[in-house]
């Protein structure tokens, strides 16, 4: 054997020994450099940012997983012989771009690259955390067939209950405290192998091939298998996102509903995603075991009860396929028991997002198709009322011109039409014999107020049920898109969209106050997608003074949700009523948010009551 060959094998053996790994009999050593002093824990450091950022280093490690598809290909390496410091991760991602890495789990490598902090988005503005990685990488395989480091089992007591330190700014420079904070725990294991076993799914499988499980099954469980988000200061630190590293052609991503179980072992390295936060990138993925979740049915209204429902139909337009109309209609007829009045959110114009800036704002064809589908499903022939928005002025999907509107069953309730309502004319409360009335019906509430810039304007309508006047306000408040994530680098996260919703709540509350000033016994229902939580300043503003009461607060805590986001069952949709309605019976009807197959991403709600 040549002296060069002996030296190569000796270098490879030294590197393997330095890593503390075991090579199976017959493993191959291939051209290893001399051991390097730079180790993965030196690169990761004790904060979120590498102390070696920008340096060119050579790091040894055992390959634990590979990402062989997409635009962010690469592989993870781990040091099986760490420094014993729980703050420093022993795992690292080696980024190869669009190159498929020619390594496999069990390979021992020496990876040379530049230490970088990758941010999803503009590093100067994004609230997302960074991923420490090697870029512009080259590598040498020094041995094959090494034992892969064991994955860290994650169970109910593994991740701390507290989410993060809250310095009022960035947490990036803080020394990690993985025994105290959940975000620090995951950062201290960035790139390392972790595993979960027989975990309950707390979300449907998403459209982006994601699963969310809980590692803390007793943490705020919903009545149907999810995890309820109950307060800004009570985040669900057991929720963990899972994606798959297994190519689709080898194993399609599983379809699952909330309450299903991801049975067996699921393991892989920890990564960070701007959507969902810390993620287990599974190269071993368990099997979905069905939990048998069923869609709910609410009871029919009794003859003397008025039923009012609210339903976000998720960008419904006349260009949608018949299947979506049919599914939504089935939900109205079968699951909601054909309510007397529906407030609808996200009704788009007749050509939806296909017609940006084309002058089309009418939604008559969209609503005709929807009401026809309801009849085909066995429901009543609903009539509708709505007001076309000014083109492009109400936010939402570009070109869609979303708005709120009413459907009502004319066999059960009548609509009081008063001319003059349009996109810019505000509705007013007027005194009439026997009580209050609207100046225009339907009418928009303060459409010129700054509260509604690039947001849907609320719509007030006057109805009569068995001789009793009922005022219904349909709402779709400003989106939460733009708020900083709960798992981001700024703690506490800034809720930058909140002030607009608080102002919107003030405007709606003041309008209700005008009605009640005319007639303190007026029957008022405020319903819709308020895009905020029961514990938010938005809801506190709406209920301030006691003129309105929020009905979601009457439910048991484990039933308070109508939407699922990043594994958290939460409330965005609401129904509030004035003091006049009595024998109030309220229900959130779970038909969409928890299911992989859904007609909308929101669950509808319904209230039944006797008007005074």
String of DSSP letters for 363-419: -HHHHHHHHHHHHHTT----EEEE-PPPTT-S-SSTTT--EEEEEE-TTT-EE--BT
Beta strand pairing status for 131-143 and 108-118?
Answer: antiparallel
b/e burial code for range 316-339 (CB count within 10 A of at least 16 → b) = bbbbbeeebbebbbbbbbbbbbbb
Q: Can you tell me the distance from the alpha carbon of 14 to that of 11, in angstroms, rounded to the nearest whole number?
A: 5
Instruction: Report pLDDT for 353.
Output: 93
Which residues, given as ranges, of the chain have pLDDT below 50?
1-11, 24-29, 31-36
Q: Is the pTM of this model over 0.85?
A: yes
Q: Give the model's pLDDT for residue 134.
A: 98
Q: For 551-580, b where at least 16 C-beta lie within 10 A, e where not — what string?
A: bbbebeebbbbbbbbbbbbbbbbbbbbbbb
pLDDT at 29: 42
Q: Determine the number of helices (DSSP H) and then strands (DSSP E) in the chain.
A: 7, 31
The set of residues, in sequence order, having a beta carbon less than 8 Å from that of 76 and lying 6+ positions away, is 63, 64, 65, 66, 91, 92, 93, 94, 191, 269, 281
DSSP string, 4-18: HHHHHHHHHHHHHHH
Sign of CA dihedral 104, 110, 113, 115: positive
Q: What is the C-alpha to C-alpha distance for residues 238 and 215, in angstroms, rounded to an integer?
A: 5
Question: What pLDDT, on a 0 to 100 scale, did the predictor assign at position 10?
Answer: 41
| Burial of residue 262, with CB atoms counted within 10 A of its CB: 0-12 exposed, 13-18 middle, 19 or more buried | buried
């Amino acid at each position: 054997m040549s002296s060069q060959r002996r030296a190569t094998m000796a270098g490879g053996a030294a590197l393997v020994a330095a890593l503390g790994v075991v090579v199976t009999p017959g493993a191959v050593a291939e051209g290893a450099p001399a051991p390097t002093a730079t180790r993965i824990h030196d690169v990761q450091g004790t904060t979120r940012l590498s102390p070696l950022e920008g340096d060119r280093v050579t790091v040894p490690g055992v390959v634990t997983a590979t990402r062989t598809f997409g635009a962010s290909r690469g592989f993870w390496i781990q040091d099986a012989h760490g420094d014993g410091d729980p703050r420093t991760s022993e795992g690292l991602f080696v980024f190869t771009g669009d190159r498929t890495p020619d390594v496999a789990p069990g390979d021992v490598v020496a990876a040379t690259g530049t230490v970088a902090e990758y941010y999803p988005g503009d590093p100067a503005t994004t609230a997302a955390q960074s991923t420490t990685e090697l870029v512009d990488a080259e590598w040498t395989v020094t041995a094959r067939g090494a034992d892969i480091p064991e994955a860290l089992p994650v169970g109910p007591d593994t991740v701390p209950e507290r989410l993060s330190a809250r310095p009022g700014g960035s947490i990036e420079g803080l020394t990690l405290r993985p025994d105290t904070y959940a975000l620090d725990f995951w950062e201290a294991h960035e790139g390392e192998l972790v595993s979960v076993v027989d975990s309950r799914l707390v979300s449907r499988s998403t459209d982006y091939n994601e699963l969310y499980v809980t590692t803390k099954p007793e943490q705020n469980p919903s009545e149907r298998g999810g995890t309820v988000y109950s307060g800004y200061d009570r985040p669900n630190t057991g929720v963990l996102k899972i994606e798959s590293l297994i190519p689709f052609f080898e194993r399609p991503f599983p379809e699952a509903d909330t309450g299903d179980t991801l049975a067996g072992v699921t393991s892989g390295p920890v990564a960070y995603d701007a959507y969902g936060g810390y993620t287990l990138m599974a190269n071993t993925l368990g099997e979905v075991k069905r939990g048998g979740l069923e869609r709910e049915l609410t009871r029919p209204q009794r003859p003397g009860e008025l039923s009012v429902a609210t339903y976000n139909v998720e960008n419904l337009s006349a260009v949608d396929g018949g299947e979506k109309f049919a599914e939504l209609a089935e939900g109205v007829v079968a699951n909601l028991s054909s309510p007397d009045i529906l407030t609808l959110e996200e009704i788009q114009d007749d050509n939806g997002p296909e017609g940006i800036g084309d002058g089309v704002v009418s939604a008559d064809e969209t609503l005709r198709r929807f009401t026809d589908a309801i009849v085909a499903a066995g429901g009543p022939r609903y009539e509708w009322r709505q007001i076309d928005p000014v083109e492009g002025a109400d936010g939402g999907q570009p070109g869609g011109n979303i708005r709120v509107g009413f459907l009502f069953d004319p066999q059960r309730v009548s609509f009081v039409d008063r001319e003059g309502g349009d996109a810019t004319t505000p509705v007013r409360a007027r005194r009439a014999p026997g009580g209050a009335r609207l100046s225009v019906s339907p009418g928009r509430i303060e459409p010129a107020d700054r509260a509604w810039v690039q947001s849907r304007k609320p719509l007030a309508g006057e109805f009569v049920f068995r001789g009793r006047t009922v005022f219904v306000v349909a709402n779709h408040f400003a989106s939460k898109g733009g708020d900083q994530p709960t798992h981001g680098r700024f703690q506490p996260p800034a809720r930058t969209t909140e002030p607009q919703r608080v102002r919107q709540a003030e405007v709606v509350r003041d309008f209700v106050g005008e009605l009640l000033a005319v007639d303190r016994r007026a029957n008022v229902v405020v319903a819709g997608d308020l895009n905020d939580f029961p514990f938010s300043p938005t809801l506190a503003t709406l209920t301030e003074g006691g003129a309105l009461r929020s009905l979601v607060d009457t439910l048991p805590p484990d039933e308070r949700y109508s939407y699922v986001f990043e594994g958290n069952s939460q409330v965005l949709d609401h129904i509030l009523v004035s003091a006049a309605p009595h024998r109030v019976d309220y229900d959130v009807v779970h038909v969409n948010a928890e299911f992989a197959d859904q007609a909308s991403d929101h669950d509808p709600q319904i209230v039944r009551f006797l008007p005074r």
